[in-house]
Structure 1
Amino acid sequence: MNNMTEQFKNITINNLNNEHLCCAIADKKHQCGVDTKKVWLKERIAEGHVFRKLDEKGKVFIEYAPIETAWVPVNGDNYIYIYCLWVSGSFKGKGYGKSLLEYCINDAISQGKSGVCILSSKKKKPFLSEKKFIEKFGFQVVDSIGDYELLALSFNGTKPTFAENAKKQSYDSNRLTIYYGVQCPYIPNCVDQIKKYCHENHIPLELIAVDSLEKAKAVPCVFNNWAVFYNGKFETLHLLNEGYLKRMLDI
Structure 2
Amino acid sequence: MQEQFINLTLENIGTEHLCCAIADKKHQLGVEVKKEWLQARIKEGHVFRKLNQKGKVFIEYAPIETAWVPVEAANYIYIYCLWVSGSFKGKGYGKDLLQYCINEAKDKKKSGVCIISSKKKMPFLADKKFMEKQGFQVVDRIGPEYELLALSFDGSSPRFNENAKKQRSESQELTVYYGLQCPYIPNCIEQITTYCDANGVKINTIKVDTFEKAKNVPCVFNNWAVFHNGEFKTVHLLNEGYLKKMIM
Question: How far apart are 1:97 and its partner, in Å?
Answer: 0.3
Deviating 4+ runs (over 2 angstroms):
none
Match of 1:61, SS state, is strand
Equivalences for residues 223-234 of structure 1 within 5 A: 223-234=221-232
- Give the residue type in structure 2 aligned to 1:22: C
Q: Structure 1, residues 44-88: CA drift from partner, whole Å, max 9, x if none?
A: 001000000000000000000000110010010000000000000
> Which residue in 1 is equivalent to 2:26?
29
> Which residue in 1 is equivalent to 2:220?
222
Q: Structure 1, residues 151-195: CA drift from partner, whole Å, max 9, x if none?
A: 000000010000010000000011000000010000000000011
Work out the CA distance in 2 between the residues paired with 1:24 and 1:86: 12
Match of 1:118, SS state, is strand
- Give the residue type in structure 2 aligned to 1:148: Y
Equivalences for residues 149-160 of structure 1 within 5 A: 149-160=147-158
> Which residue in 2 is equivalent to 1:138?
135
Work out the CA distance in 2 between the residues paired with 1:37 and 1:120: 22
Work out the CA distance in 2 between the residues paired with 1:159 and 1:176: 34
Work out the CA distance in 2 between the residues paired with 1:234 and 1:225: 14
Work out the CA distance in 2 between the residues paired with 1:191 and 1:163: 26
Match of 1:235, SS state, is strand
Give me the TM-score of the superposition, normalised by structure 2: 0.99
> Which residue in 2 is equivalent to 1:185?
183
- Give the residue type in structure 1 aligned to 2:16: E
Find the partner of 1:128 among 114, 125, 128: 125
- Give the residue type in structure 2 aligned to 1:145: I
Given the alignment of the two structures, is residue 104 of structure 1 paired with residue 90 of structure 2, yes or no?
no
Match of 1:16, SS state, is coil
Find the partner of 1:53 among 46, 50, 54: 50
CA RMSD of aligned residues (A): 0.4
In the alignment, structure 2 segments of 5+ residues that lack a partner are none
> Which residue in 2 is equivalent to 1:235?
233
Match of 2:95, SS state, is helix
In the alignment, structure 1 segments of 5+ residues that lack a partner are none
Q: Structure 1, residues 202-241: CA drift from partner, whole Å, max 9, x if none?
A: 0000000000000000000000000000000000000001
Work out the CA distance in 1 between the residues paired with 2:90 and 2:172: 44
Work out the CA distance in 1 between the residues paired with 2:160 and 2:65: 13
Equivalences for residues 37-76 of structure 1 within 5 A: 37-76=34-73
Work out the CA distance in 2 between the residues paired with 1:82 and 1:39: 20
Work out the CA distance in 2 between the residues paired with 1:88 and 1:137: 19
> Which residue in 2 is equivalent to 1:246?
244
Work out the CA distance in 1 between the residues paired with 2:73 and 2:126: 20
- Give the residue type in structure 2 aligned to 1:200: A
Give the share of equivalent positions with the same residue, in percent.
72
Question: How far apart are 1:137 and its partner, in Å?
Answer: 1.1
